[in-house]
Chain A
Amino acid sequence: MDWCEPRDFSDWFGRFFSLRSLTFILIVALLVIFEFRFDWMEKALGSYLSTTNRQRPETGEIWETAHDTEQARNSLNEITVDRETLQRNARGAVDLADIISFIAENQSVMISPEHFRSLYMKLPRSIASKIIAPNDLLRLLGEGEWERTYFRKYGNQLSIYLIDGSNRALCEIAVPDSTLVQIERRRIVFSGSLEEWGFAPERIRPANRFFSSLGSLPEDVRAEILARPEDILSAGGRLVRVGFPPQGQAEWVDIGFELDDGSQRQVVILPAREWALGRLRTAEESAALSGPVIRNPETGIEP
């Protein structure tokens, strides 16, 4: 049926009040009333949007804040995890060198006084007394105020604070670079001869020649060459030869001490100051000492 526009008012009136129009109007009115009464459109819309929620982007102020919070949490987590790892390592440290090795500059760790005491006891006496006199340590332990030990690295220096319950330093110890190196460069023992461990034959001296040159040096220089003789003594055997590194390597160099216990040979590596070793060489030259040549029992090479 073709649709045509109403031509006059009665036509308009008739069409408006026709059954079809009235039904349409009624339906629209009902829809509007139901919408006002039951909010069906909002509910339908809301339900539909809820189903698509997960696919939508996390935009808007609240999400930005949430991301900032997440980022802040991560940063803090990083800091605390680092700190906790450091702290865990510190708790597991078996000697002071362990602690020195893992604290980076401006990092800090805290250990108990008992733990500090055990680390202190493991240090060679010559180094331990440089850090704190045993009597002072005893006094602090006896006073009972010392609750924690705080280590912090500033540049090349390690600061140790023995602190009380209110974080006041009862004693502050600054461990200089040179002592740190001595602590860090622990005794290393290998089995075999000096040559096997890379010492050139022309840099190997008989032990007696080494000691006679060493004896001619002042006490402070001697201490920089052989700070911890007890490390050699504790290795056992008779000291037969000493091996030097090439000149001008670094501030600290390794000296090898070859020991013979009758059945096997072993090498103890100890740190020494290069400048002090230079003094030793000069002393050797000026004294023009020539000790008995000791052949390597295995290679037969003379130094």
Chain B
Amino acid sequence: MNVRQWARDLAMGVRFAFGGGREGWVRAGLTAVGVGLGVALLLLTTALPSALSQRSDRADARQDFTYSGKQLAKADNTLVIADSDTTFRAKDVRGRLLEPEGTKAPLPPGVAKFPALGEMVVSPALKKLLTSDSGKLLRERLPYRVTGTIAQTGLIGPAELAYYAGGKDLKQLQSGSNVERINYFGPSPNSQPDKLDPILLLLILIVFVVLLLPVGVFIAAAVRFGGERRDRRLAALRLVGADGRMARRIAGGEALAGALLGLVFGTGFFLIGRQLATRLDVRDISVFSSDLNPSPALALLVAVAVPAAAVLVTLLALRGVVIEPLGVVRKAKPPRRRLWWRLLMPLAGLAMLYPMIGQGNNGGNFNQYLVIGGTVLLLVGITALLPWVVEATVARLNSGSVSWQLAVRRLQLSSGTAARMVNGIAVAVAGAIALQMLFAGVEGDYTKETGNDVNRAQMEVSVGSGTPLAEVGRRLARTEGVRRTSAISQTSVGERAKNPDNELEISVGSCAELREVASLPSCRDGDIFRIAGGNYDAATKKMATAGNTVYFDPAWDGTSSVSHPTPWKVPAGVKTAQPREDPTGYARDGLMITSGAMPANAMRVLDQHVFVSLDPSVADASDYVRNTAARMNPLADVFMLASTRQSLQFKSIRTGLFVGATCVLLLIGASLLVSQLEQLRERKKLLSALVAFGTRRRTLSLSVLWQTAIPIGLGLALATVVGMTLGAVLLKMTATSVRIDWSSVLAMSGIGAGIVLAVTLLSLPPLLRMMRPDGLRTE
């Protein structure tokens, strides 16, 4: 068969797809929307790598803390930068204070000019927030005048909240290591590119496979919309002289038309989605639409593979079909399905995954090809196994009510169609179960118990050393939404004035304040306590010996911070006390000094910490606290206390899975509904005849339900088995103990079953309409 012949027949099919009046268009449109949705999802997938890399490129380009360990001297090209990040209503705000020290000081990416003192440049999203009513509290916290915006090159996402403000004497504003002198923006020269944890990489790979496979299954289903009418048309073509092969190619051409139109639709959907993506802000992650560029090679692959797959699927589907001039005949009894080769696929998949068992714990690499190949084979194995399982099972089903008999007999005759309908759901559910297991299994590794006791306090505020403790406590206690505060001053002493080897923790406060962080036997102002039984008990004992001289604020070589070492002789009469965890779960060591016993000349080196307990009825309580803290020190550190903290990367992968799985299952639900309705329409006359001789509507509705419920039930059962197997293998790969997460198994099967139920319910009204006796009117 030559190429021209092929091309001619395919072209004829394309023409047929759009001919045939309104119904033809509706069918072509339906197919195109279906394929289009799939294509859009595929394009989005191909765009993700570039979006992620552009995002991380820009994040790299604006890195400002080099942690090089080397001190830069003040020069013409240096800049002092301070990290003033804050959080506003659960949204992170990236903040930097800039103090250029010369004319050649480096500008951060996306910023045209250094903001002067009291001025700031902001991201568009922050600008919008600040001018809106809801941004009032944040405006109070950022008392700078907005003089410009940060360009896209300086932002990682359109919804990012960021600002650069002008600063002065930043070196004096000490608050940990949040201030540094730099002479360029960009990654530290000796920094390693952040390598994704192999287990996280595995998760991402599996998420993609699991989400994309059902899309493939869906596209395959979408190109077969409207099969019955097509069959009649093909028969008519045979009647006027087309041979069997020609008819098949024409059918392929029709599918090709749907797929091509689907590509156009898909591109459209993708472009629309790309524009909408800018407005999307999921868990602090947003994407510039210009970042969403499908990689040309992958996009080309989609553009070629989708139509080719459409033609192939059609030709494959017509394999068991004889197109006769007077109608399409499905072979009455297809050969019995064989089990052995169907088992080969999942077994091969397992074999590919097997060598990687246990690779996850020693930071080893997974072979990406083997992982993807194995997972794909295992999941695609479902689509091979399911028809066999359905056939073998329904062949053994027997007797029962009329509705059951009707459904079972139909399934026995066309178990393939039924299995095809549920393939997509089964693959999606199996993949999701495996992923849920994997997530549940490794969740522990990525969720840290913080040890915070959120009953005692919900926030911790460190304002540095500028303000006396009593005032800090008082100001925070007066803040709106604060119920209770407990303040403590902290510092450390070294045994030498310069470069001490040992340091001793010092906590200073009133008796009441000290009792929050230690168990004191009795306390009067002027007392000093030594914590006994702490981690560094021996060192503490030695340094806290009466008469021993220690130094507050010791100096270190090579740090930029200014220090004024102050000697202090440990007095006699130091009592012992037992350690006690503070609200963050930290048990202090060292010395507890009541304010009266503290040398006056060392007071200025104390860092002030306040634990804040909030009034839950005040919605913005935490932001009032942040504002108060910022007023005392713009670089103040404010933490929300939480009982657990998940790795950020882990969290976003999980979010991605949920969003993706929802989209995919909805897509599949839509295709199920369409094919269901089509099947019903095909049987309109029979349904009418059955109603004529008195069949109850309930009987027919039930038989329709059975007809979907039986294959779906089998599909879900198989999906559960395969999903749990895959999950177990993946967990073994990450060297995590295998534990079956029954709740997620039930949830995923439940979602699958729910979709089937919804589809059946949605197809009931048309079914009832079709059962009306009007269907008998043939003349």
Query: Do A and B form a real pair?
Result: no
Please give the residue numbers on chain A whose beta carbons come within 8 Å of chain B beta carbons, in ascending order: none
